[in-house]
Amino acid sequence: MASLQQPSHQIADESEEARVSRLLTGLSVMAVLFLLGIGGKAWFAEHHTHAWVLWAFGAFVVANMLVYAQTGNRARQKGGLISIVGLLFGYLIITGGESNTGPLWFYVFPPLLFYLTDLKTGTAVLLFCVLIAVVVFQFPQLPFVTAEYSTDFKIRFFATLAFESIFCFVLEASRLNARKELMDMALAHKFAASTDELTGLSNRRDMHHRLNEELSRYQRSGHHFSVALIDLDLFKQINDRHGHDAGDQVLRDFAALMQSVIRQTDVAARWGGEEFLILLPDTSLLQALTLAERLRQRVSRHEFSFAGQAMPVTISAGVCSIAKTGSINELLKQADLHLYSAKESGRDRIAPRVRTQESGTALADN
Ligand SMILES: Nc1nc2c(ncn2[C@@H]2O[C@H](COP(=O)(O)OP(=O)(O)OP(=O)(O)O)[C@@H](O)[C@H]2O)c(=O)[nH]1
């Protein structure tokens, strides 16, 4: 059955991405203000180079925000910010920042990284940064490295960083797990709320929703549509003669047969009991009658059976087009009246009047 709506997990992913982007914009503004501030502090402490470097990082963050504002590219916004923050932490570790406290800023990285990337990428980037820190700590004589740290500081730094990273990893993994479970539950719930359990077709509630959507489309752009209300003839006899399970099997088989006859864009629903409704978008009354007639013929030729017993089945249907009514209530009422007249005229037929049923050509008399 073709879905006319966007899948809910896509909507949830989209809103999560939008939330992350808003968070990143907020964090970027805070980072710029902070870099301006500590850059100013370094300037007044006569650490002019350090101040310029911090302001330059602030300028990179602003540039990243501007690129995002222009392109709306969220992946680039994330990648840009992670790269700038990674470089900034590298600089702070190499130089020691103010009074050798630069590495302490590294603690900001694990939660940010795991939240913004997937667990694998986050772990890989984090390990790479830790490797840089190990090299800088172990080889203070390397070019550009101006900071030297005590052994105690290094041990405590790596121990606490490892603890924090593992903790962030576990928290993020359980957050993602919980999110997935919730999404699966929401999907299952949505499916159950819109699907008929026995046949797997849309249920009445879902069909009402789709009918209203189609009506809006008709009112907006004049795309007409039709419906066919179908009832299995003398279904009570099938139940009485062959049992309820056989009746259920006939309903399932009929649903599958109907699905194979309609187009991908049509929607079939179990309207209740042994009654079904097909919504036919962009279909005139005449086209709908032709389809209903084709379905009637397929059903009468089909060999329904249960536990080796054959069960002949026929259907009657009432067809109506929105162009003849203008409202869903009236459309359904008219289809129901036509179904009633098809039953009254002897069953195994389509109404309004179909002149040449046997040849498969349906003609309406109104
Ligand atoms: N097996 C089964 N039977 C159902 C289900 N829902 C409704 N029915 C049966 O469908 C039968 C409908 O009977 P009626 O409304 O008298 O209509 P009919 O026998 O089809 O006769 P006409 O509509 O006049 O052709 C009833 O016996 C219901 O119990 C279902 O889910 N499974």
ipTM (interface predicted TM): 0.96
293 lines ligand 1 (CB under 6 A): no
pLDDT at 343: 97
Q: Which CATH number fits domain 204-351: 3.40.50.170, 3.30.70.270, 3.30.360.10, 3.30.1490.20?
A: 3.30.70.270
Q: What is the DSSP letter of 233?
A: T
**How far apart are alpha carbons 300 and 284 in whole angstroms?**
24
243 pLDDT higher than 90? yes
CB 319 within 8 A of CB 352: yes
Alpha-carbon distances, residue 299 vs 18, 188, 228 (angstroms): 50, 32, 15
pLDDT at 3: 42
Residue linked to tokens 């009654």: 275
Closest residue (by CA) to atom 6 of ligand 1?
273
CA dihedral 98, 104, 105, 109 (to 10 degrees): 160
Distance 223 CA to ligand 1 centre (A): 35
- Which comes out higher in pLDDT, residue 105 or 16? 105
For 281, the token pair is: 């978008």
Closest residue (by CA) to atom 8 of ligand 1?
273
Average the pLDDT over each of 138-142, 200-204, 315-319 and give the range with the smallest value: 138-142
Q: What is the pLDDT of residues 204-215, one digit of tens each?
A: 999 999 999 999
pLDDT at 105: 87
Angle value at C-alpha 185, between 181 and 187, nearest 5 degrees = 115
Report how far apart the first and last C-alpha atoms of the chain are (Å, whole number): 31
236 lines ligand 1 (CB under 6 A): yes
**How far apart are alpha carbons 155 and 16 in whole angstroms?**
38
159 pLDDT higher than 90? yes
Distance 346 CA to ligand 1 centre (A): 17
Closest residue (by CA) to atom 29 of ligand 1?
236
244 lines ligand 1 (CB under 6 A): yes
- Average pLDDT in the 67-83 region? 91
Angle value at C-alpha 342, between 340 and 344, nearest 5 degrees = 70
Closest residue (by CA) to atom 13 of ligand 1?
236
CB 208 within 8 A of CB 277: no
CB 202 within 8 A of CB 195: yes
7 pLDDT higher than 90? no
The minimum-distance atom of ligand 1 relative to the CA of 272 is 6
- Average pLDDT in the 252-265 region? 97
Distance 129 CA to ligand 1 centre (A): 70
235 lines ligand 1 (CB under 6 A): yes
The minimum-distance atom of ligand 1 relative to the CA of 231 is 23
224 pLDDT higher than 50? yes
Characterise 307 by phi-psi region: left (phi > 0), alpha (psi -120 to 50), beta (else): left
Distance 357 CA to ligand 1 centre (A): 25
**How far apart are alpha carbons 131 and 252 in whole angstroms?**
62
The minimum-distance atom of ligand 1 relative to the CA of 235 is 20
pLDDT at 116: 86
Please count the other Cβ atoms lying within 10 Å of the Cβ belonging to residue 298.
14
Closest residue (by CA) to atom 16 of ligand 1?
236
**DSSP run (H or E) holding 280:** strand 275-281
84 pLDDT higher than 50? yes
**How far apart are alpha carbons 199 and 255 in whole angstroms?**
6
* Helix, coil or strand: residue 131: helix
The minimum-distance atom of ligand 1 relative to the CA of 251 is 32
**DSSP run (H or E) holding 281:** strand 275-281
Domain(s) of CATH 3.30.70.270: residues in the chain: 204-351
pLDDT at 12: 66
- Average pLDDT in the 313-323 region? 96
The minimum-distance atom of ligand 1 relative to the CA of 240 is 27
198 lines ligand 1 (CB under 6 A): yes
314 pLDDT higher than 90? yes
364 pLDDT higher than 80? no
The minimum-distance atom of ligand 1 relative to the CA of 316 is 25
Q: What is the DSSP letter of 140?
A: T
Q: What is the DSSP letter of 270?
A: E
3-state SS, one letter per residue, for 27-79 = HHHHHHHHHHHHHHHHHHCCCHHHHHHHHHHHHHHHHHHHHHHHHCCHHHHHH
What is the number of H-type helices and E-type strands within the chain? Answer: 11, 7
Quick check: pTM over 0.80? no
pLDDT at 1: 40
- Which comes out higher in pLDDT, residue 361 or 175? 175
136 pLDDT higher than 90? no
- Average pLDDT in the 336-359 region? 84
The minimum-distance atom of ligand 1 relative to the CA of 198 is 31
2 pLDDT higher than 50? no
8 pLDDT higher than 70? no
Average the pLDDT over each of 139-143, 256-260, 346-350 and give the range with the smallest value: 139-143
